[in-house]
Amino acid sequence: EAQVTQNPRYLITVTGKKLTVTCSQNMNHEYMSWYRQDPGLGLRQIYYSMNVEVTDKGDVPEGYKVSRKEKRNFPLILESPSPNQTSLYFCASSLLSRGKSAGELFFGEGSRLTVL
């Protein structure tokens, strides 16, 4: 089954304790991205990656790191989490080729993070 898998789905942590949210896709997609979703603010892009070893900042990158060492994996790292990073996080992937269907983003089921 084609899917984007995120882990953990739910996490409660404390300020300053480093954490990693993993993301893996099995569709051989070149493009991967992380979003956070907050009430009233919608989906905002954190980081994205066009391919292995190619990453770039989105709209809200502060406090986050990413890496893309393999095509299928795109972990999100919070080196020193703070309460304002409490949010619902989504990983997404898509093909890079042109054409209407190529732009379709496939999302994971989300990771709800609470930072105390």
Partner 1 sequence: QKEVEQDPGPLSVPEGAIVSLNCTYSNSAFQYFMWYRQYSRKGPELLMYTYSSGNKEDGRFTAQVDKSSKYISLFIRDSQPSDSATYLCAMSPFTGGGNKLTFGTGTQLKVEL
Identify the three-state secondary structure at position 101: helix
CB atoms within 10 A of CB 100: 6
Q: Which distant-in-sequence residues (6+ apart) come within 8 Å of 70 by Cβ? A: 52
CB 4 within 8 A of CB 107: yes
Q: Closest distance between partner 1 and the C-beta of residue 78, in Å?
A: 20
CB nearer to partner 1: pick between 58 and 63? 58
CB of 54 to partner 1, least distance (A): 10
Residue closer to partner 1 (CB basis): 14 or 102:
102
Toward partner 1, which CB reaches closer, 36 or 79? 36
Amino acid identity, residue 16?
A: G
Single-letter residue type at 106: F
DSSP bridge pairs for 33: 48, 92
* Of 56 and 79, CB closest to partner 1: 56
In the complex, the residues that contact partner 1 under the rule CB under 8 A are 4, 29-31, 40-43, 45, 48, 50, 58, 90, 92, 94-110
- Residue 15 C-beta: closest distance to partner 1, Å: 26
How near is the Cβ of 50 to partner 1 at its closest, in Å? 6
Pairing type for strands 87-94 and 111-115 reads antiparallel
